[in-house]
Structure 1
Amino acid sequence: MVKMTPVLLCGGSGTRLWPLSRKSYPKQFSSLMGAQSLFQASTHRLSGDAFAAPLIVTGEDFRFIVSEQLAAIHQQAQTILIEPEGRNTAPAVLAAALWLAEHDPDGLMLVAPSDHVIPDAEAFGAAIAAAVPRAEAGDLVTFGIAPTRPETGYGYLELAPGADTSVSTPQPLARFVEKPDAGRAAEMLGAGNFLWNAGIFLFSTKAILAAYEAHAPELIESARAAVAGSARDLGFTRLAADPWAELADISIDYAIMEKADNLVVMPYGGDWSDLGGWDAVWQESGPDAAGNVASNNATAIDCRNTLLRSEAEGLELVGIGLDDMIAVAMPDAVLVAHKSDSQRVKEAVATLKEKGAKQATTFPVDHRPWGWFESLVLGDRFQVKRIVVHPGAALSLQSHHHRSEHWIVVQGTAKVTVDDEVKLVTENQSVYIPLGGVHRMENPGKVDMVLIEVQTGSYLGEDDIIRYEDVYARN
């Protein structure tokens, strides 16, 4: 049996779940619906005997997050394609197809976003299996979700006359429908021949490349050059930047699917959500008898149909007498909105960007290839950070023009280099890094190493780093 390659798209930086989802750490990497992140759950769902190892398409900023989260669930990708810049789904899928044409030319590709929630993996797997014969025959299969409400946040698929949305075999498609207003959405729900557009596709590598040749030939040359000029980099495949920059920013729906005449729809009647807003998170989280969803650090008192989430350790969120409200607390930002306004969260992000607030795009925890850090206190000429370094990981050999640092190890052991001196620093010990000192921190142990860093100086920005050596090949 031909195995399918899951092609997981995880380069997006959506803002509709702000303040949890931000440009520097978008929702697909967050644990919104359980212990695993949405990306990890998607990878796990598309694994097993029917699937080859996944192909991941992501951006420069997320490459180490992807590899770390894969390792945490004991999964390994065929490759991780690094987009030099976001160009939407049509170039991303084309690059994946061109790469697979060199490695598995007769295989099937299952293209899926990495931030969807599909609780019943077995039922979804059955739908995929039912669609395989059409994909092997050369059709392009798109998956449509049986609608349960007049949703205005999704695009729709209109089935051709005589098609049946309730069957478990692919059906003919009449057309794509853009996101409707409330009245039109209600009409389509009542008509019974419309499905939500899930943005999930199954096809052979040969069929999708033929579709690009027929319907979007202008993308082929630059994409082919980007793949041909790609370079291996620490286990990643970095697409060539110059030809990639020439590609149009266009979705696969517009470039291919709305033009193809060999497209069929696989209906899926199980639960599904793209978590496109906090109202969707509320709905998918299973509200209690009063309609409330509260996280472990949140309490609802005399509330109804309300979502309360505290994403900050040690921060208790309490709602009293709230109806149809959303409240999400982070260490550096709090969102409070009526549930009906959940789609307007992106307006808040735009407003914060205009006023120069870093909370618009920057996550309070900064993830790096060696671990992560967070700022605990930031004042005039000083900053206090908590830094976590994973076992075997090392920061770059570096120096600073404008600050000195004092490190106090609170867990594990640090191997510290300061100029010509190398020494081990254990729990409750400290070391001083003078201004201009060439230094590095490593974790030689088997557990996470945690330290508190106190910075002092005239400028404390992250761009005040001169790197001399870096095992992660960062410039």
Structure 2
Amino acid sequence: MLTAIIMAGGSGERFWPLSTPEKPKQLLNIFSDKTMIRETVDRILPIIDRENIFIATNELQAKAVINELQDIPKENIIIEPAFKDTAAAIGYTSLIIETRLKDKLKVDEKIEVVVLASDHLIRKENEFRDVVKLAAKEASENGVIVTLGIKPNKPETGYGYIEVKEDNALLLNEVYKVRRFREKPNLETAESYVASGKYLWNSGMFIFTTETIFKNFDVLMEEHTDVFNSIRKKIDKNISGIELTNIVREDFNHFEKISIDFGIMEYSKNIRVIPVDIDWNDIGSFNALEEVFHKNDSGNIVRYCDVNELDSSDNIIIADDIKISLLGVKDLVIVKNGNKILIANKNRTQDIKKIIQK
């Protein structure tokens, strides 16, 4: 039985001032008339029933998520009582999925889970759905965790990389063993990764069965398993929403704050990767918009506003209800949302969260 966990608890700090804690990037309609989380749900609806799609979010954003996704059962909006990173979020939501669906399984049927971000852009949707089904089959039949690796088209320093155990050229939509995960490299290292042909971008999308993920927690994150065992005794398939959140609130305080990448993916011995070409972008910063939107004759990207420009090029301008004049400026990001304005050099957009935390 194929299910989905859509991770929707991030604050999108690198998209400030468009993104705020109450209305983060996934709740913005940046690329179409749909919000990014709506696009994520619609992308998988052809292969996963609404009743089997679960949203992992937090108390601050839960109301907005529920309003945005009214076709998803309200009890499938899982509200984490504290942010303890993705290991806790994925494990906790997998536990709820297992509790809710175990009585519906056929003999020998397993629960496959695909973990997706709520704020990624995927243009080749049919190819994406096909590879998710392939990954779910591999995960179920062989008891492995499968991740989707993006074939790099440039030496990108903003992504983590996956090194593949393979001597021959990597083929799309084939299953390979993972040698190791690599952190975001410097430019020279990224160039060597791409030249070798043995590295893929880490998309952060994972597919596994609930049985497999909890076995990995048992071996690699025993303290998380202890918390899950405590939670398992308290939850009931008929309890949901803030009532369930309050029941597990104390347990959540015992989770170590750690990502599933550091806790499991980097150490597990049963990880597989499928190289894919799905026109993917994680939209990690404003700079990513250059790969998505058309530039005008000056190389500027202009969204939602009028711009008067002279001798100005390669800027990104997003604003509401205002006319902006540019004179002799280059490589800037200018964003206005309400009474908040950001003006930043394009090579510093990864640091936006540092300035809003002051």
Q: Give me the TM-score of the superposition, normalised by structure 1.
A: 0.69
| 8 A contact 2:221–2:264 mirrored in 1 | yes
CA drift at 1:77: 5.6
2:106 maps to none
- Following the alignment from structure 1 to structure 2, what is the Cα–Cα distance between the partners of residues 282 and 19? 18
1:308 aligns with 2:317: yes
Q: Which amino acid aligns with 1:7?
A: I
User: CA offsets, 1:401-442, max 9 Å, x none?
Assistant: xxxxxxxxxxxxxxxxxxxxxxxxxxxxxxxxxxxxxxxxxx
| Bigger radius of gyration among the two | 1
CA drift at 1:211: 1.2
1:343 aligns with 2:350: yes
1:64 aligns with 2:69: no
Between 337-346 and 43-52, the greater mean CA deviation after superposition: 43-52
- Following the alignment from structure 1 to structure 2, what is the Cα–Cα distance between the partners of residues 87 and 163? 39
Q: 1:237 to 1:292 in 2, by over 3 A?
A: farther
| 8 A contact 2:150–2:280 mirrored in 1 | yes
Between 15-24 and 48-57, the greater mean CA deviation after superposition: 48-57
1:126 counterpart (109, 125, 130):
130
CA drift at 1:118: 0.9
Secondary structure of 2:68's counterpart equals: helix
After TM superposition, the structure 1 = structure 2 runs for residues 245-324 of structure 1, keeping only pairs within 5 Å, are: 245-299=253-307, 301-302=309-310, 303-310=312-319, 312=320, 314-324=321-331
CA drift at 1:132: 2.5
CA drift at 1:25: 2.2
Secondary structure of 1:101's counterpart equals: helix
Q: 1:125 to 1:49 in 2, by over 3 A?
A: closer
1:85 aligns with 2:92: no
- Following the alignment from structure 1 to structure 2, what is the Cα–Cα distance between the partners of residues 130 and 306? 41
More strand by share: 1
CA drift at 1:230: 4.5
1:108 aligns with 2:112: yes
Secondary structure of 2:5's counterpart equals: strand
Unmatched segments (≥5 aa) in structure 1:
352-475
Give the total of aligned pairs. Answer: 345
Q: 1:227 to 1:287 in 2, by over 3 A?
A: farther
| 8 A contact 2:79–2:242 mirrored in 1 | no
1:94 counterpart (91, 99, 102):
91
Secondary structure of 1:264's counterpart equals: strand
1:229 counterpart (221, 228, 234):
234
Q: 1:170 to 1:298 in 2, by over 3 A?
A: farther
1:457 maps to none
| 8 A contact 2:79–2:241 mirrored in 1 | no
CA drift at 1:163: 5.5
Q: Which amino acid aligns with 1:274?
A: D
- Following the alignment from structure 1 to structure 2, what is the Cα–Cα distance between the partners of residues 96 and 193? 33
User: CA offsets, 1:292-317, max 9 Å, x none?
Assistant: 2111313252432221101x3x3233
2:7 maps to 9
| 8 A contact 1:108–1:203 mirrored in 2 | yes
1:206 maps to 211
CA drift at 1:23: 2.3
Q: Which amino acid aligns with 1:19?
A: P
- Following the alignment from structure 1 to structure 2, what is the Cα–Cα distance between the partners of residues 252 and 79? 21
- Name which structure has the greater RCO, CA cutoff 8 Å, separation 6+: 2
1:329 counterpart (326, 336, 345):
336
| Aligned-pair identity (%) | 26
1:20 aligns with 2:18: yes
| 8 A contact 1:165–1:194 mirrored in 2 | no
2:29 maps to 31
2:185 counterpart (157, 167, 180):
180
| 8 A contact 2:166–2:176 mirrored in 1 | no
CA drift at 1:133: 2.2
Secondary structure of 2:122's counterpart equals: coil
Q: Give me the TM-score of the superposition, normalised by structure 2.
A: 0.90
- Following the alignment from structure 2 to structure 1, what is the Cα–Cα distance between the partners of residues 13 and 334? 16
Q: Which amino acid aligns with 1:192?
A: G
